[in-house]
Amino acid sequence: MRILTVSTLAAVAAAGLLLAQDQITTLKVDVDVVSILASVRDKRGGLVPNLEKADFTILEDGKPQPIKYFARETDLPLTIGLLVDVSGSQRNLIDIERSAASQFFRDVLRKKDLAFLISFGEESELLQDYTGSARLLTEGLNQLRVSSGVGGIHPGPVPTMGGPRGTVLYDAIYLAANEKLKGEVGRKVIVVITDGVDQGSRLTRNQAIEAAQKSDAVIYSIDYSDPRAYGPFGAGGGGEGELRKMSDETGGHVYKVDRKHSLDEVFKELQDEMRSQYSIGYTPLNDVKDGSYRHLEVRVANKDMKAQARKGYYAIKTETK
pLDDT value at residue 275: 85
Give residue-wise pLDDT tens across range 237-248: 568 899 999 999
Q: How far apart are CA 243 and CA 124, in angstroms?
A: 18
* Inter-residue contact 279 to 73 (CB < 8 Å): yes
Which residues make beta-bridge pairs with 258? 261
Mean pLDDT across 99-128: 94
pLDDT value at residue 316: 82
- Please check the confidence at residue 163 and state whether its pLDDT lies above 70: no
Q: How far apart are CA 69 and CA 67, in angstroms?
A: 6
User: What b/e string do you get for 118-127 counting C-beta neighbours within 10 Å, with b at 16 or more?
Assistant: bbbbbbbbbb
Q: How far apart are CA 116 and CA 142, in angstroms?
A: 14
Give the phi and the psi of residue 83 in degrees, each rounded to 5: -115, 120
CB proximity list for 128: less than 8 A, separation 6 or greater:
115, 116, 117, 136, 137, 139, 140
* Inter-residue contact 181 to 28 (CB < 8 Å): no
- Please check the confidence at residue 11 and state whether its pLDDT lies above 50: no
Strands of 1-77 (E only): list them: 2-3, 34-42, 56-60, 63-65, 67-72
Class of domain 2-7+75-274: alpha beta
pLDDT value at residue 317: 72
